[in-house]
Chains A and B, each alone.
Chain A
């Protein structure tokens, strides 16, 4: 069972497209629906049994479905084989001379688009090996004969398609086995071979159909070419005549253009359409309805083709010329609206085409976009309405139906009932025109235009159109919608200060609000309109204010001055308002009201014991005084609200224009608000009598810092009379604590030392008139970066040092002082501020106060400690490298220097070291205890240590810490104990198998023999054969052997003696000691490090024991 829609699909019909929006009919100058689509070649398919034959249905669907952009634009229709085609008229030569009844026949386009096919295709199921081939051939030829007969007089082509499920495929040129059959078929059907096609019915049917379509399309092209040539012949005949029949010329040109459009030859079509248009202009029919209609149709096709050919500039210029040409053809005066309707229609159509072009990829610019044309269309619609409404309405005895086109485009037929009497045509038409919804059209057009302007970034133009829509809405009585649009416009223009536009819109807003009636909007707009900055005339402002006063006094307002004809309606509507409608709250933000309101605290901050003072100023810029009943300032803490009210009984709230009224408020701050900020959140001004009408004006967002008063009023400065200057607006106020009358004195006189406990004395003096209690001393570091590096503790109990300490003090009677102290400890040298806060309570009256002071402290590290070490028997100086051999005696020094200007006393010192790696050779008492160091003095302590021999060479021995107890000189605080990190000892890696020692006597004298005893130790595990050499120089005389041979067993030692006599005084080089003992033993490094190179020789005549010599010697040794 086929669905109904599919069953009906083969009957192609005209797309029912109208340009009008669905709910807005317009009888005048509608573009005929057949003109709108682009012409498509028309092919009739016959012989397809769509309903019963599945194969045929598939073939039809291949033709009809998926007609996308990739397929050729062809319109198919299934017709029965015996379909009756429109009968062709036989053109007679005499017709060229006669005057035709019109320009373009109404049915012509439709006929060629849908009724007269360019090609009739007959489908037949015929297999080559069909047993009944001969019969079917005859049936086929008879069908073709039928078609041909019904197309008599037309040049419509005919084609035959054989649907075959077993086709023969044969190469071209090769004689087909069935060529006889084919030729026979062609002959019997009177067709050429080119008109017969084979359609194999298999899986690739779609592909074959597309190929067939291409072949058919060529035949169709030929048909339309011939048709256009035929019409061209008629045209030429007309042009040859002496008196050219312009109507016929236009008709022929149009037809040629249209036939070329069938062929998709757009350029040629455009040329002929333009020719037709030029010929049309020569037909002088001023205001002729028909000429205008035809011009519209031709121009529609011209513009459409221009856009299709990507020449939008041509389209626009053609269109402009079109309007210029027809601008003067205004027609009869009583039908003047028709001309406007025509202009409206032209602009509207062009806008639609333009929009279509944009949707298919054209890009428009702000000054040329469809919105411009829709706006113009709306303009003409407005004029059309005006022209139509200026005629007095004359009722007819019947409801006229809009006229329809007759045989020709633009020739109207009126349908007058037969029983009615003579009707003037103008009255008939005017009545039809009155039925048109002009306003609806205008709103539709303007809305469309706004969408286009928005799209092309013309927001201000769109805004202007918004206001025009608002006007139209108010004309048709949709006041709510109008008011919404005006509000939107007002907000925009208020922002940019186009005062005149703004004031005019405001007036409209007031009128519309009165008619809704929207009381709140009316009052607010009126307050804005009567403001001094308004650009309305004084008289208007006065009248507006009088109306406002009527409402305020509870009377029903008469809007006679405001809305002259509609005042009665508004009056009635206000009368039917419920009483609560006259009680409303008006949000006055963003409004340039005639009441200017200014409220400010007198100072930026108030103390807890002071009265907060606040001043509100009101000024009026309206032409007449306005009485108000109450002024209230709402603060962020509602507890104060009762103090900030002025009501009509107590103060003069009757504001007079151009005079500033000041209202002072004062109140005591609450204790809970101390340390907080109070701000003005709202200002409320009431007007009207409470029983009948009451309006509350609210300025919120007042105290917020983002929107101070200046931007709040968008640049209208607060106007004050006289020379009084406005103080800076203070919309919020800080409530601060009561200032203390207690003096806190503290000063760090001295430098603080890192690590010590410093006692900072503080003196508190009470200057209050009463006893202060609950006194708390709070100390903390003021500098954020120093927090944690300075710690505090209170005196007295076992003090724990924390980042901020609080210590209670006793109550202090008036006029007395109390000494307190705080302990400070620094962990590093720094300079920072500390804050000392004293809080206390006063009982009568009850306040909590705080006194605060900050002092600067500076601390330094007094201890600069250096560690040095050396081998006991080495000639090297003591160093901080701490690279030492294992198993040798070492001297370890600690050098303590006082780097601060403060004198310190040292206590016990202790060096910690790991017992398993290092042993103490000799225990010496510490000399440091009790030593005093002033600035830059040093003290040394010495340890005799030995690294145990088991420590592997190159390993590190962790040392420390060094613990030193010390104190400031004269301090009564406990001593500081400082832990000083000690560098690691490194065990020397090089190990010499032979060690040589030489001990020199303390004093060497000139010419006295000096015995040198070189002690040699073999610390290796093997027997060593040593060859010892002593070199000489001329500074002494050597006694003994210069070369010796010594043999040393493992861990054995021996002494080599020699004696020298120094000759010179002063530093003398000692003999160079050299040991040669085979290639694998090298003890040169040891000898270089441990044997002294020089000795100081004293002159002979200086006695020993001389102090100066002693000193000289000591210096030398160290």
Chain B
């Protein structure tokens, strides 16, 4: 078993046909990669893709009107939180389970992730208002990536 990959974050925006529109990986500086980067991404996508089941199950359940779903799925050392926009675009964040003895996400952690999601949502809405952006197409905007990067720095670095 590889040592758990703490401090790693993987954020993905998923469109209506289950396709990833935007991917973002955050890696702390001091970290050394124990598994190849490509394998890591592959694993992240695997986990994120499988977590869509849980998101959809929540959307059809009694919590269907909610936007933010914390800790919706778990896979080994990762926890998955989700945010669903009103237009049914899904944001997924893979973040490490912080403490081994504490499996539940702490209250303030939930708030941090919620704030991060809302910050990205705001950028996303601005992107959607751009007439040159076509719905459900891959997000290639450098400005958007930059803004997400800033949001990650602002909200998630302490996670």
Contacts and interface: CB of A to CB of B under 8 A. Distances in A.
B50 A461 contact: yes
A498 B47 CA distance: 12
Interface residues of B, number: 25
Contacts of A499: 20
Interface string B34-51: 000011011001100110
B53 A457 contact: yes
A388 to B, nearest CB: 13
A366 interface: yes
Interface string A480-521: 000000000000010111111101100000000000000000
Contact of B20 (A457, A459, A497): A497
Nearest to B36: A537
B59 to A, nearest CB: 11
- A contact patch SS: helix
B55 to A, nearest CB: 10
A499 B42 CA distance: 9
B52 A460 contact: yes
B19 A460 contact: no
Contact of A367 (B46, B73, B100, B101): B73
Contacts of B41: 500, 535
Interface in A442-475: 453, 456-461, 463-464, 467
Contact of B53 (A379, A459, A501): A459
Given A457-B53, A457-B57, A458-B53, A501 B17 contact: no
Nearest to B76: A379
Given A383-B1, A501-B49, A367 B38 contact: no
Interface string A1083-1109: 000000000000000000000000000
Contact of A504 (B18, B39, B73, B101): B39
B57 A497 contact: no
B61 to A, nearest CB: 8
Most B CB contacts (10 A, CB to CB) among A327, A365, A366 go to A366
B45 A464 contact: no
A460 B53 contact: yes
Nearest to B137: A715
Contacts of A383: 1
A386 interface: yes
A367 B42 contact: no
A367 B51 CA distance: 9
A90 B61 CA distance: 60
A464 B19 contact: no
A500 B45 contact: yes
B18 A496 contact: yes
Nearest to A367: B54
B159 interface: no
Contacts of A366: 53-54, 57
B53 A461 contact: yes
Contacts of B53: 366, 453, 457-461
A464 B49 contact: yes
A456 B54 CA distance: 10
Contacts of B67: none
Interface in B10-36: 17-20
B72 interface: yes
Contacts of A379: 76
B20 A498 contact: yes
Given A367-B72, A504-B39, A498 B57 contact: no
Contacts, number: 68
B72 A504 contact: no
Given A365-B57, A366-B57, A457-B57, A496 B50 contact: no
A379 B44 CA distance: 17
Contacts of A501: 42, 45-46, 49
A898 B49 CA distance: 83
Nearest to B19: A497
Contacts of B20: 497-499
B77 to A, nearest CB: 12
Contacts of B72: 367
A503 B39 CA distance: 10
B25 to A, nearest CB: 11
Contacts of B57: 365-367, 456-458
A457 B50 CA distance: 12
Given A458-B57, A497-B19, A464 B42 contact: no
A499 B53 CA distance: 19
Contacts of B61: 365
Contacts of B50: 458, 460-461, 463-464
Contacts of A386: 1
Interface in A333-386: 365-367, 379, 383, 386
Contacts of A324: 101, 103
Contacts of B103: 320, 324
Contact of A535 (B19, B38, B56, B100): B38
Contacts of A367: 54, 57, 72-73
A324 B101 CA distance: 8
A535 B61 CA distance: 36
Contacts of A503: 42
Given A367-B54, A458-B54, A460-B52, A504 B38 contact: yes
Nearest to B72: A367
Interface in B95-154: 100-101, 103
Given A367-B73, A496-B17, A460 B49 contact: yes
Interface in B78-101: 100-101
Nearest to A467: B46
A460 B18 CA distance: 10
A1036 B38 CA distance: 129
Contacts of A496: 17-19, 49
A146 to B, nearest CB: 61
A316 B38 CA distance: 36
Contacts of A461: 50, 53
B53 to A, nearest CB: 4
Contacts of B101: 324
B38 A498 contact: no
A464 B54 contact: no
B16 to A, nearest CB: 10
Contacts of B17: 495-496
B73 A464 contact: no
Contacts of A495: 17
Nearest to A365: B57
A451 to B, nearest CB: 15
B156 to A, nearest CB: 21
Contacts of A500: 38, 41-42, 45
Contacts of B18: 460, 496
Contact of B38 (A320, A459, A537): A537
A926 to B, nearest CB: 82
Nearest to B48: A498
A453 B50 CA distance: 11
A461 B72 CA distance: 13
Contacts of B39: 504
A449 B44 CA distance: 21
Nearest to A382: B1
A457 B59 CA distance: 13
Most A CB contacts (10 A, CB to CB) among B17, B41, B53, B54 go to B53
18 contacts: A327-B100, A365-B61, A366-B53, A366-B54, A367-B72, A383-B1, A458-B50, A458-B57, A460-B52, A467-B46, A496-B19, A496-B49, A497-B19, A498-B20, A498-B45, A499-B20, A501-B42, A504-B38
Q: Which 9 A-B residue pairs are closest in the complex by CB-CB distance?
A: A366-B57, A458-B53, A496-B18, A504-B42, A497-B19, A461-B50, A464-B50, A501-B45, A500-B41
Given A460-B50, A501-B49, 4 more contacts: A367-B54, A386-B1, A460-B49, A536-B38
Interface of A: 320, 324, 327, 365-367, 379, 383, 386, 453, 456-461, 463-464, 467, 493, 495-501, 503-504, 535-537
Interface of B: 1, 17-20, 38-39, 41-42, 45-46, 49-50, 52-54, 56-57, 61, 72-73, 76, 100-101, 103
